Chain A
Amino acid sequence: MKEEVGQSSHWLDRPGSVKKLIRVLAILCLLVVAGDLVYEKHGHYSWENFPGSYAILGFSSCVAFVLGATLLRRILKRGEDYYD
C-alpha cells in the first residue's frame, strides 16, 4: 500500500499539474499561430495564407468529428452482447 502512495505522488498526480499542462498547450497554440505572422506563406491555395487557417481547421474539424460521432452513437449504439 505504501508503495502505491509513493507511486501516486508522481508529478502528473499532483494537483495543478494538469492545469499547468493545459497552460503549456495554450502557450504552444499561441506560438504556432504567431508563427504564421513571422514568415511569408506561399500556400497552394489562397486560404492557406490566412494566418491561423490550419488552427481553425484543426479545432473545428475535431469538434465536428466528436459531435458527429456522438450523434452517430445515438443511432448505432447497442448492448455489449448485441451479437452474442
Chain B
Amino acid sequence: MIEGAPPGLILILGAVLVPLLRGRVRQAYMLVLPVLGFVQVAMLPVGFVYSVQMFNYELTLVRVDELSKVFAYVFYIASFLSVVFALHVKDTVQLVSGLIYAGAAVAALFVGDLISLFVFWELTAVASLFQIWARRTERSYRAGLRYLIIQVGSGVLLLAGTILHVADTGSLQFGVLGVVSTGTTLIFLAFGVKAGFPLLNGWLQDAYPEATVTGTVFLSAFTTKLAIYALARSFPGTEILVPIGALMAVLPILYAIVEDDFRRVLAYSLNNQLGFMVVGIGIGTEMSLNGTVAHAFICTIYTGLLFMCTGAVLYRTGTIKGSELGGLYKSMPLTATFCIIGAASISAFPLFCGFISKSLILASVAESHHTLTFLVLLCASAGVFLHSGIKVPYFTFFGHDSGIRCKEAPLNMLVAMGCAAFLCIAFGVAPDLLYSLLPYPVDFEPYTTSHVVNQLQLLLFAAAAFVFLQKTGLYPAELKSVNIDVDWLYRKALPTLVRGFGDRMIRVKVGIQTKVLEGVGFAVRYIEGHHAPTGVLGDPWSIGATALWAAVLLIAYLLMAHR
C-alpha cells in the first residue's frame, strides 16, 4: 500500500504540517520533503502500476514509466530550489499552497486515467492561485481571479472531453489519444490552454508577473511543463502541433522585445520555449520527443533561475521594470552573474544546458524535413537571445545607471540561484547526465563542430545586431506602457461589449416602460372621456328621466309576458 502511495502525495500531505512548525524546524522540514519525494521516485520501478476500483471505474493512481519519471525528477528539483529560494518567507499560505501545488503536479505525472488527471489538474490550478493572491494587492487579486477562471476552465474542458471520450470508447486511459473526436479535441484544447497555445496564452503573461517574488518561481516550473507532459503523452505526432509550436516560438518574442516588466518578458520567453517543445511533440519521432522532454527538463531549471534573479531584484529594489533599473551589477554582482548564466542557458550557448536540449529538437525538425519550421525555430533561437539573453541582464545590471544602490540578494536566494546556475552548467557540460534519463535511447552528439560553430554564429551575430540597433537608436527604448495582448479580449473587449449590451438593454427596458405607461395613460384618458362626470356615460340622470325609463321597461316587459 505504501508503495502505491502516489508520488507527490508526500508534498501534499507534508504541507499540512507546515503551519504547525516554526523557525528553523519548519525550514528544515520543507527542505526534506522534496528530497524524500525525489528518493521515492528514484526507487519506483518502471512498469509499476497501482489502481483502485471506484464505483464502476478503475482509477490508476500510479503508473510508472520513463516519461513520468524524468518529469518527476525535474519537478522535485524545482520544488527543492523554489523552497530554498522562499526559505525567508514567513507567510504560511504561500508555503503550504506552494508545496501542495508542486505535489499535485508530480501526482498528475503518475496517474494513468483521465479522471485522476482531472483531479490533480484542478488541484494545481487552485493551489497555484495563492502564489498570486499572496501578494495581497488589488491588482494581484484581479489577475488571480482571471487566472483561476482560465485554469479551472481548462479543467472543465478536460472533464467534458473525458466524458465524451468515455462515452465514445469506454476507455478512461490517459495514454495516446490523438485528435480524433470531439472528446479528444476538447482534451487537446484543455492541455493547450495550460501549454500556452497562441490565443489561449493570455493568462501566462497576465498572471505570472503579478505573483509574489517567490510565487513566480513556483509558478514557472509546474503548470506549463505539466501541460507539455500531457501533450507528449496523449498527442505525440499530432501534425497540427508543429505550426502551433512554431507560432508560439515566434509571436511572444515580439512582445518580449517591447515589454517593460522583466518578469513579463520572461513569461513571454517561457511561452517561446514551450513553442520548441510543442514542435517536438508534433513531429513525434523518438528523437523529437526526447528533445521535448530534455528541453522541458532544462527549461524548468533555467527559467526558474531567471525568475529567481528578477525576483531577487524585485525583492531588493521594489521594481522589476526595465525603465527604472540599470547598473545593478555594482550592488548585486552575484545575482548578475547567476542571471547571465541563466541568460546563456536560455539562449542555448554551447556549454550551457539549453544547447544540449534545443539542438536535439532542431536536429529532429531538420531530419523530418520541416524546412520552414526549422528556419522559424532558428530565428526564434536568435530572438530569444535578444530579449532574454541580452535585454534582461543588460538593462537590469548594466546599461544606464539607475542610481539604485541596494544590498545583494539574501543568502537563501543566492544559494538557490547558485544551485540552479550550477545545474545549468553541469547539464551543459555533461549532456549524458540528462540524455540517460530520457524516455528513448539517445543517439545524438550535441558537441560537433558544425553544431557549435553554427550556434555561435547565430548568437554572436544576434548580439552584433543588438549593438548595431542600440548604436543606431533603432532599439526600442524601455517605456512604461502596456502592450495589449490576447488578454485584452476578456479584460477590455468583452467587458465593453457586455457593458454596451447592458446599456442597450437598459435603454430598451426604459423604452418599453414608457410605451406601456403611455398606453395605460391613453386607456385611462379614453375611459375617463366616457365615464367621467363630464362624459356621455358618466353623466348623472335626473330622477324623473330614470323613473320614466324604468316605467317604459316595465311596460315593455309586461307586454312581452302577457302575449
Which of A's residues lie within 8 Å of B, judged by CB? 4, 7-8, 10, 12, 22, 25-26, 28-29, 32-33, 35-36, 39, 41-45, 48, 52, 54-70, 72-73, 76-80, 82-84
B475 located at the interface, meaning its Cβ lies under 8 Å from any Cβ of chain A in the complex: yes
Which of B's residues lie within 8 Å of A, judged by CB? 139, 253-255, 257-258, 329-330, 366-367, 371, 374-375, 378-379, 382-383, 386, 398, 405, 449-450, 453-469, 474-476, 479-485, 491-492
| A-B interface pairs (CB < 8 A), number | 150
A45 to B405, CA, bound (A): 51
Selected from A7, A45, A78, the residue in CB contact (under 8 A) with B483 is: A78
Known: A66-B386, A66-B474. A72 touches B254 (CB 8 A): yes
A73 to B383, CA, bound (A): 17
Closest chain A residue, CB of each to CB of B379: A61
Selected from A36, A60, A68, A69, the residue in CB contact (under 8 A) with B457 is: A36
Closest chain A residue, CB of each to CB of B463: A25
B468:A63 contact, CB within 8 angstroms: yes
B335 CB to closest chain A CB (Å) equals 16
A78 to B485, CA, bound (A): 11
Selected from A62, A73, A82, the residue in CB contact (under 8 A) with B462 is: A62
Selected from B254, B462, B491, the residue in CB contact (under 8 A) with A83 is: B491
Determine the main DSSP class of A at the interface with B.
Answer: helix
A33 to B492, CA, bound (A): 49
Selected from B374, B386, B398, B461, the residue in CB contact (under 8 A) with A29 is: B461
B257:A66 contact, CB within 8 angstroms: yes
Known: A57-B378, A73-B258, A73-B476. A29 touches B483 (CB 8 A): no
A61:B378 contact, CB within 8 angstroms: yes
Closest chain B residue, CB of each to CB of A34: B453
A35:B465 contact, CB within 8 angstroms: no
A12:B464 contact, CB within 8 angstroms: no
Q: List 19 A-B contacts (CB under 8 A).
A: A25-B463, A28-B456, A36-B457, A39-B449, A45-B374, A52-B457, A54-B378, A54-B454, A54-B457, A54-B458, A58-B459, A60-B465, A62-B461, A63-B468, A63-B474, A66-B386, A66-B469, A83-B492, A84-B139
